[in-house]
Chains A and B, each alone.
Chain A
Amino acid sequence: MNAPSTGTAAVPGTDSPVFAVDGLWKVFGPRRKAVRIPESEYASLPAAELREQTGCTAAVRDVTFDVRKGEVFVVMGLSGSGKSTLVRCMTRLIEPTAGSLSIDGEDVLAMDAARLRELRRHRAAMVFQHFGLLPHRTVLDNVAYGLEIQGVSRIDRRAKAAEMVAKVGLEGLEERRPGQLSGGQQQRVGLARALAADPEVLLFDEPFSALDPLIRREMQDEVARLHHEEGRTMVFITHDLTEALRLGDRIALMRDGKIVQLGTPEEIVGSPADDYVRDFVRDVPREQVITVRSAMRPAVAGEAEHGPALAPAATVVEAIEAVARCGGPARVVDRGRCLGVVDDAGLLAVVAGLPTPDGRGVAA
């Protein structure tokens, strides 16, 4: 991988990954030319020069990551960074040019058409930015569409669809057409349709970008709730940093088809890999992302016994409240053991973006 990655060390590899992506390339352009680019000297050229010299566009360049079971893996980047192409490559809606890709250890690129359909029908379902609903069908029939394609009988699929409609909170709207729904409701239909197949992984392609901010917030909560209840693995594409930070267990930040940084929200905000990332996260309220784990210092005499207790995953905002309330340092306690303390100096340093007690720079 030619992109710096700091995130893999933070969470120790526990299970085998659901999706394993290794050195994936997608080059658009004349086929003969495109397949040669990943191996050629053009591979390292910037996007514009590559286009000028070869007529090809590299949308995804040498991308490597794993998606672990049960996590929300966010791919984040601005428009044109290749994130939507990347997620389409994962079920081969767009055929990757080079690299390897496997789901549960099975090589996706080697699948024949029938096996690939099987993958799309049962293992990975996708939710689209523009919903992709069939305008001539009712909500219920749209939700049941995936099951219909699988050949599930009408009664069974409608029963399952009704269940999914209830799950996403659309009861009473079953007989409406998509055109009669608001954007948020339409995306709930899209979500229900994806859930109906009971897939192992949900792929979201900027699902809430077309919605207005309040609805977007509501839908994010909905996804968070679903993830909390079912623990389904999710790959979530977004261009919205706030959304990425709110939903993501881990975030891969893409630029020009490459992953610039891969890590937990705290790592991305707390230790940006380069200036691009730093600029990206400059306006993020750090205190809402950074946990006390990185703001604490070792306890000195007596401090380990007194003061309010905080979990290591508590954010700095919560610590500020606790510290302000009691007037002294707060303890960071994990399973009854005191890991350290946070005081006003450490917390203010996080808010101000100064180096934290453990010496890591929060921001430039």
Chain B
Amino acid sequence: MSPTTTPVRDQGPPGPALTPDGSTGSGVNGRPDRRPPAAAPPRARLRALLVRHRAGRRVLPLAVVAVVLVPVAVLLPGAAAWPASLAVDLSGPLGRAGDWIIDNRDHHPLFLYFFGHVSNAVVVSVRAVYVVLLAAGWAGVTALAGLVALRLAGVRLALTCVAAFAACGLLGMWVPTMQTLALMVVAVAASVVLGALLGLAAGMSDRADRALRPVLDTMQVLPAFAYLLPMVLVFGIGVPAAVLATVVYAAPPMARLTALGLREADAGVLEAAASLGATGRQRLLTARIPLARRQLMLGVNQAVMMALSMAVIASVIGAGGLGDRVYQALASVDVGAALAAGIPIVLLAVVLDRTADAAGDRLGAAPLPPSQRRLLGRVFAGGYGWLLTVLAAVAVAAGGRMADSSLWPGSWTLPIAEPVNRAVAWMTDHLYTGVPVVGGTADWAARFTGWVLDPLRSGLQATPWWLLLALVGALGLLAGTWRTALTAVLALAAIGVLGVWVPSLDTLSQVLAAVAVTLVLGFAVAVGAARSARAQRLLRPVLDVCQTMPQFVYLIPVVALFGVGRAPAAAAAVVYALPVVVRITTEGLRAVDPAALESTRSLGATGTQQLRHVQLPLARPALLLAVNQAVVLVLAVVIIGGLVGGGALGYDVVLGLAQGDLATGLVAGAAIVCLGLVLDRVTQPAKEA
């Protein structure tokens, strides 16, 4: 019957009466076409061209502005930094507010009846989980982790899981690992519940979505460090602040993905459910939520990874556990000890990510029929499998208790700090300087600082403040709408008003340098990888691991190689952001329509021509996204770099925390938020209006 599927269109000359309707009909009915006629006068054509290309329309006024402003800037030297008269000194009021909170924490009703309860609940639940973990003993915890992994993902991941926990014990990090784990369990549970509720609201109601979306969007671009201080202000340094900072940091992705999943649920299925007479609640529970389960699982996965990342960083505000060990070790530049605590973090990250991933994949796949399952899979299948899993773990834990070894036996540890430190010392002696031809790593760091970071910093700081504002505004206009530009300019002005103009520009210089390096390296690697399937195969596992690692961990190898200072902070940022840039760019390049590439090839284009004329232009959205992500990620790590001598805003935050000088820290934190906003807005991948 295919010949008659569209009987009319194939027959004869279709007169106006034959046009089906809609699109073609409108043209026939004499509606004027929106495109300018081909024979328009040249001036109109030019204007049409400018209007049609957003970039063209925007560049014109910008060019005019630049031509006017730059000479003025040169003629008016001296007024570079933000004028003191326009700044507001907040240290007094903030300090007083901080003092007030500290004074009233114990008896003001707000703290007594709200924050106090929240804080207690957090402490109690973390304690409870911690006690359970310790009571289960190393044998019980390892067995439970292994069995859950087995249930979700199969034997290989189960073995990886067991090996990872064993490694934590071997490195002598059992107790800190359990501390981190306990904190994470509570934080993840809370952020998943919170995120799911917010996501449900945003997924079901357009109004809630409109209200929540900008907030969630903004929260996602803010560096983790910015979340710490407000929590400390209210809860004081300690576990409650750490857990709540983690919850606030990890909930947005869950909320976003939940809302996305609910909104994207197949409309056809929902309609079918309605046609069968389902009530609103039935539709939500039996169709909409199950249809969104992949996104929900992805949200949980993201929440877990973000929580781990934050739980480690939150060591700065008293989270304890693995992050604290890294933090203490980095503070005394003890790379060996930092590594001993860093490895368990990485292992935890990898295991958690893989398990959550496998759980997500399992949701989509149909279960194998029993005959095709292996023995272990068959034993643990079905609803009883979970019960069996828990029972087996309890049995192992009980066995461990009876053998009286709930803590990891001290004789089984393998102290790596000492040999690692020896290796680092050797590196310091032999690789830092004086390596023939290439120079030493410290030389590189010094050169990067001297030739790139310093000129950039002094350049930025010498630029008049109003020119920077204008520049940011122009970039914002170029990237998005006037609203984007306004947000960016206001955020930058807020930095000036806060009185942290100079350190912020210091941070900015590090970010810009690191982003430039990241993009050059990332695009180069991606272009190479996009061309060769083998390179991609090799790259993928590396990228996978890199992307799961918490930001904090990247500081360890960088400190080992480059010592402390601004260059290592930038280097850590580059290493952290590089995998994401490579991945987004590679995927963008590979997603280019093969037909377009083929047609270029058939015209005899060279590889470079294909790249320049087809791949790069078509992958533009991916490239812009890569730039945006690079900026956001680099900023996050550059700030954390304050812990290893990066100075600037990150250092202010750390200093504020360390000395209880909340005013300094809060102002720096606010500046970080503003800087994050500025950087995100001016690199926003343009949304087609």
Contacts and interface: CB of A to CB of B under 8 A. Distances in A.
Contacts of B528: none
B272 A49 contact: no
Contacts of B290: 134, 136-137
Nearest to B366: A177
Contact of A149 (B3, B268, B282): B282
Given A134-B291, A240-B4, A276-B17, A120 B274 contact: yes
B9 to A, nearest CB: 8
Q: Looking at chain B, what size class is its interface with the partner chain? A: 35 or more
B276 A125 contact: yes
B21 A81 contact: yes
A166 interface: no
- Which of B21, B31, B272 counts the most A-chain CB atoms under 10 A from its CB? B272
Interface string A126-153: 1011111111110000000110111000
A227 interface: no
Nearest to A257: B21
B21 A117 contact: no
B277 interface: yes
A256 B21 contact: yes
B271 A241 contact: no
Contacts of A241: 4, 7
Interface string B87-98: 000000000000
Q: Looking at chain A, what size class is its interface with the partner chain? A: 35 or more
B8 interface: yes
B5 to A, nearest CB: 5
A283 interface: yes
Interface in B10-24: 11-12, 17-18, 20-22
Contacts of A117: 277-279
B1 A180 contact: no
Contacts of A135: 269, 291
Nearest to B25: A48
Interface string B143-158: 0000000000000000
Interface string B363-384: 1001001000000000000000
B275 A125 contact: yes
B519 interface: no
Contacts of B1: 213, 216-217, 240, 242-243
B6 interface: yes
Given A80-B20, A93-B275, A180-B366, A284 B26 contact: no
B4 A47 contact: no
Given A46-B29, A48-B25, A243-B1, A132 B269 contact: yes
A118 interface: yes
Nearest to B270: A132
B2 interface: yes
A250 interface: no
B401 interface: no
- Which of B31, B275, B293 counts the most A-chain CB atoms under 10 A from its CB? B275
Contact of A132 (B6, B31, B272): B272
B287 interface: yes
Interface in A183-209: 190, 193, 197
A356 to B, nearest CB: 23
B17 A275 contact: yes
B328 interface: no
A331 interface: no
A293 to B, nearest CB: 24
B366 A126 contact: no
Given A47-B21, A93-B271, A145-B276, A283 B366 contact: no
**Which 7 residue pairs across A and B have the least CB separation, nearest first?**
A132-B272, A121-B277, A120-B277, A146-B276, A242-B1, A126-B275, A78-B20
Given A180-B366, A279-B18, 14 more contacts: A46-B25, A81-B21, A118-B277, A120-B274, A133-B269, A134-B291, A136-B293, A149-B282, A213-B1, A239-B6, A240-B5, A241-B4, A242-B1, A282-B11
Interface of B: 1-8, 11-12, 17-18, 20-22, 25-26, 29, 31, 266, 268-269, 271-279, 282, 286-287, 290-291, 293, 363, 366, 369
